[in-house]
Amino acid sequence: MPITSVSKNPDALTMTVVADFAAPVERLWQAYADPRQLERFWGPPGWPATFYRHDVYPGGRSSYAMTGPDGESSNAFWEFLAVDPGRSFEVRDGFATADGSENTDMPSMRMSFTFEGTDEGSRVTTTTFFPSAEALDQLLGMGMEDGMRAAMGQMDDVLADLASFASDRATEAQILDDTRVRVARTIRGTLDQVWQAHNDAALMKRWLLGPDGWEMTVCDIADQVGDGYRYEWAPIGGGEGGFGFEGELVASDAPYRAVTTERMIGMEGPGTLNELTLTPVDGGTLLSIVITYPSVELRDIVLATGMTDGMEASYARLESQLVPA
């Protein structure tokens, strides 16, 4: 069992959990920074977590749901108060309603996570600060300590699984629910480089080329929230066909997060909401896009087009622009 100690201080209104692992501290940090890994242990057995948002930077937010064996759901959030990459982060942890907003009927708490190397591997110390003695009793009475013990007991398998999250792994898409899909890939480049690659028209035209034999002919980028953007592609040499997308930048927190709407030019009906998050990890920058479709039918149609393979080709080309051959 990874947990080596649990101590509660009723006077200070804290609970401190220490867990040790036979893995480098960089690997332990990445298990928390990557939502694909975090959701494999953040939730006790039988109650797996799904992270719909995970912004590991000060001011960022995570939204997740734990789903029980009978389909019941418990929703929660983190608000990131401080982040020292590779060393520590601090969040406000709270309960949420089904739409992701805070459930103010339940107490929230402050949690700090500290990562350090040890002679045997690495250690994470999690300290929970309760707002009152009543909240401490309520949350411990709901099984918070037992839940953390069970959740942390799943981490060894996650840390040992190096192949699933290697930095050279291809782009992969994961269905989160009926309308949401998460696309993820580690890009071998710095956070600033990957952000710039999505916000520099000249650079985008070198890596976001569309199908083989095509080129990006229009790249009008949205610079400010509320601005529109327009991207178009055509066969090299001006052959038949052509397509494009347009939308609006609805939120931005450079260089970590950008949220845009997207619809195909000339197509009627609602488009998608695309939430891009960039997170520094060992080996580069984790790129994660949560795409919300207007229907499950459109979600399946788009996935069947080979979208993931096309994105992989583009991201491999992007890496070639950032990393010397």
Buried-state track 4-37, b at ≥16 Cβ within 10 A, e below 16: eeeeeeeeebbbebbbbbebebebbbbbbbbbbb
- Point out the least confidently predicted range of 206-210, 226-230, 255-259: 206-210
What pLDDT, on a 0 to 100 scale, did the predictor assign at position 325? Answer: 45
CATH code of 172-322, in short, is 3.30.530.20
CA-to-CA distance for 222 and 134, rounded, in angstroms?
Answer: 48
| Residue-wise pLDDT tens digits, 100-139 | 899 999 999 999 999 999 999 999 999 999 999 999 999 9
What pLDDT, on a 0 to 100 scale, did the predictor assign at position 237? Answer: 84
| Residue-wise pLDDT tens digits, 32-62 | 999 999 999 998 888 889 999 999 999 999 9
In which element (H, E) is residue 301 found?
helix 296-304
Asked if the model's pLDDT at residue 276 lies above 80, the reply is yes
User: Closest Cα to residue 83, out of 53, 108, 107, 115?
Assistant: 115
Domain span(s) for CATH 3.30.530.20 in the chain: 3-161, 172-322
3-state SS class at 20: strand
3-state SS class at 11: coil
Average pLDDT of the segment spanning 189-211: 95
What pLDDT, on a 0 to 100 scale, did the predictor assign at position 323? Answer: 66
What is the 3-state secondary structure of 112-131? EEEEEECCCCEEEEEEEECC
* Bigger pLDDT: 290 vs 236: 290
Average pLDDT of the segment spanning 5-19: 94
What pLDDT, on a 0 to 100 scale, did the predictor assign at position 164? Answer: 76
CATH code of 3-161, in short, is 3.30.530.20
What pLDDT, on a 0 to 100 scale, did the predictor assign at position 296? Answer: 96
Q: How far is CA 48 from CA 56, 65, 82, 94, in A?
A: 20, 8, 26, 17
CA-to-CA distance for 221 and 231, rounded, in angstroms?
Answer: 8
User: In which region does residue 27 sit, left (phi positive, over 0), alpha (psi from -120 to 50) or beta (all else)?
Assistant: alpha
**Average pLDDT of every residue of the chain:** 93
